[in-house]
Structure 1
Amino acid sequence: MLVFFDVDGTLTEGSNVWEYIYRRLGIWNTIGIPIQERFLRGKITYEEFAQRDAAHFADTPARLLQEWVSQIPIRPQVKELLHTLQSQGHRIILLSTGLTLLTDRLAKEFGIFDAVANELEIVEEKASGKVFVHVSADDIHRDKGAWVRHFCKKYRVSTEQTVAVGDSAGDIPMFRQVELPILFAPADSSADPKAIQKGIPGIVVTETMTETGREILDFAQPSRYWLGWRRYAR
């Protein structure tokens, strides 16, 4: 079974990795927020959004970026959940509109099966100010839904044997492609569960990683595959 996880806000606590770097540079309020608001209002595409962010990271040493990202806190019980899923033969794939700086860290720490995220260009040990956008929030050919289809084809896994866990409306394309979509909505989440539930009827909502793990392991029981009830519920 393939289990797809969003990263920022789902496996990690606090803000996304882009905002985290902005804050360490001391320019989140003055530069980061205005760029984000332009994207949210539809004034710029996600590609433009990411490129403008990356431009403000130019000349930051790669070593420093890695050090900052290493300090982003992981949610409690994530280690136990991922270990349990992997010990039962399930393959974990990270899908993130964040940065490979973070997914690479998690892959190393937890032995993640596969991952895809956006990649800051590093030239001569410094951020060049450019980013390679592999995962988009508004391009249907590169959004998380497209990547679910890609990995299912790559690893020859039926979508009936897929789970996705995410914490925001940005994960809806991923939710729509899997058999078991799980909206992770902890107390510190800013997402509106009701709005997402309206867009994905039948989605499961959890508040802790322990609860999330129970849902996944219950679904993974062989007797559940042939039912396909969640798909028809949507």
Structure 2
Amino acid sequence: MREIVLINITGEDRPGLTAAITGVLAQGGVNILDIGQAVIHDTLSFGILVEIPSTEQASSVLKDILFTAYKLDQQVRFTPVSEEDYQHWVAGQGKKRHIVTLLTRKVTAEQLQRVSSITAQYGLNIDHIDRLSGRMPLDTPADKGKGCIEFSVRGEPADPQALRAEFLSVAQALNVDIAFQEDSLFRRNRRLAVFDMDSTLIEAEVIDELAKAAGVGEQVSEITERAMAGELDFRASFKERLALLKGLDVSVLDSIGASLRLTEGAETLFAELKRLGYKTAILSGGFTYFAKQLQAKLGIDYVFANELEVVDGKVTGVAVEPIVDAQRKADLLKELAHKEGLRLEQTIAVGDGANDLPMLAIAGLGVAFRAKPLVKQSAKQAISTLGLDGVLYLLGFRDRDGQL
């Protein structure tokens, strides 16, 4: 009668251990049903589920494994598994899988406890836990740290919206980001990433900077704030703000462009996306004049933004159609996906304002970046703790995968 046994081996990691253990199993004609291995701080945890052809062989094989492990200074444990339990385990392989991603400046036990408790509460079983972020020195400044833990979970929550709401609540309480997404083929096969510009790729709202130069800074900033929060129609508010810039001398554009700062992580993100073969685009309610500068700096493939009309060296304050508003952004995302021969599931959209919500909603991965509460609640995913390169973690990218 065949025997099914789970073999767990722990101890100091060393070269050749896996070969030695599987060599013993090979001599006993053993079949491998499952296998997994992890090394944390040079300590090995190695599990292997085996089918041994007969009870007589089992005794000999397990004795040889015990002797080999002893020689290698490893601890070993054997757990018998019934055929009924094994078949139940096999039957579970059709269950949906999801990825829960924790992003934080510094990983703490409380963060992991809260995330794992919520997953258990909603009937999700954690299969794997991986650290995607690199090793951080102990004295890393609080605002410079970068931590990411990825949980691979099995099952389907009865109420996905309630699960997301609870993750969002915990994220706000602990000042972390928690993403929850289906672990599908498309997650690892995305090829187009589109971005808002103002307060997403750059740390400013350009129209507010232009308004300051025109002497109407407070008026325009107030309108911008309400528009980004979804309190005002973007299209109408854009025309209203632009009209206030009438007469602004075009000479100020260069100085404002030179003062704009890229958002944390932007250069890393675009360098890696380019290396991975992604097409990238700016879809902005801002101005083409400044978007073109970013295109040159970051190597962006497409730019769609609003034209700043200038006559006789002065801004006219008149909007040039078509205005890139919320619906236009979503339409452009569809057009670019079609042009590149991609499904929408293969696209990423990142933005911070209410006018970004339509494109975030239809993208395969929609990320609200350092966004207002309304936008964070409405978007599929949100990043507020880390920089733009945190988007890479949502793709399963590890720091060690990078070439920067």
User: When the two structures are superposed, what TM-score results if normalisation uses the length of structure 1?
Assistant: 0.76
Give the distance between the partners of 1:154 and 1:126, measured in 2 at CA: 36
Please identify which structure carries the higher strand content. Answer: 2
Kindly provide the CA deviation profile for residues 143-186 of structure 1, in whole angstroms up to 9, marking residues without a partner as x: x212211211232221121011122333210111111112222x
RMSD of aligned Cα (Å): 2.5
Say how many residue pairs are matched.
204
Structure 2 residue runs of 5 or longer lacking an equivalent are: 1-190, 399-404
What's the CA shift for 1:36? 4.9
Question: Does 1:60 find its partner at 2:238?
Answer: no
Relative to 1, partners in 2 of residues 1:52 and 1:206: Cα closer, same or farther, differing over 3 Å? closer
1:161 aligned residue: 346
Identity of aligned residues (%): 25
Residue equivalent to 1:203? 381
Amino acid at match of 1:8: D
Aligned partner (choices 372, 388, 392) of residue 213 of structure 1 = 392
Task: Determine which structure has greater relative contact order: mean sequence separation of CA pairs < 8 Å that are 6+ residues apart, divided by chain length.
Answer: 1
**Aligned-partner Cα distance in 2 for 1:176–1:28:** 32
Counterparts of 1:110 and 1:148 in 2: how far apart (Å)?
Answer: 19
Question: Which residue number corresponds to residue 229 of structure 1?
Answer: none
Q: Hey, what does 1:231 align to over in structure 2?
A: none
Match of 1:98 among 264, 286, 292: 286
The 5 A counterparts of 1:1-234 are 1-13=191-203, 15-29=204-218, 31-33=219-221, 35-36=223-224, 42=232, 45-132=233-320, 133-137=322-326, 140=327, 142=328, 144-185=329-370, 191-192=372-373, 195-200=374-379, 202-205=380-383, 207-208=385-386, 209-216=388-395, 218=397
8 Å contact from structure 1 (residues 22, 28) kept in 2: yes
Q: Aligned letter for 1:7?
A: M
**Closer, same or farther: CA 47–205 of 1 in aligned 2, 3 Å:** closer
* Larger-gyration structure (1/2): 2
- Equivalents in 1 of 2:225, 2:252: separation in Å? 27
Gaps of at least 5 residues in structure 1 are 220-234
Q: Which residue of 2 aligns with 1:226?
A: none
Structure 1 residues 38 and 7, CA gap change in structure 2 (3 angstroms): closer
**8 Å Cα contact 2:352-2:375 kept in structure 1:** no
Q: Structure 1 pair 198/24, CA: closer, same or farther in 2 (3 Å)?
A: same
Query: What's the offset of the Cα at 1:11?
Result: 1.2
Is the partner of 1:75 in helix, strand or coil?
coil
1:35 deviates by 4.8
Which has a greater percent of helix?
1
Cα distance in 2, alignment partners of residues 86 and 38 from structure 1: 35
Question: In 2 relative to 1, CA 211–28 (structure 1 residues): closer, same or farther, beyond 3 Å?
Answer: same
Task: For 1:93 and 1:178, locate their aligned partners in 2 and report how far apart those are by CA, in whole Å.
Answer: 13
**Matched residue of 2:251: which SS?**
helix
What is the Cα deviation at residue 41 of structure 1?
A: 5.1
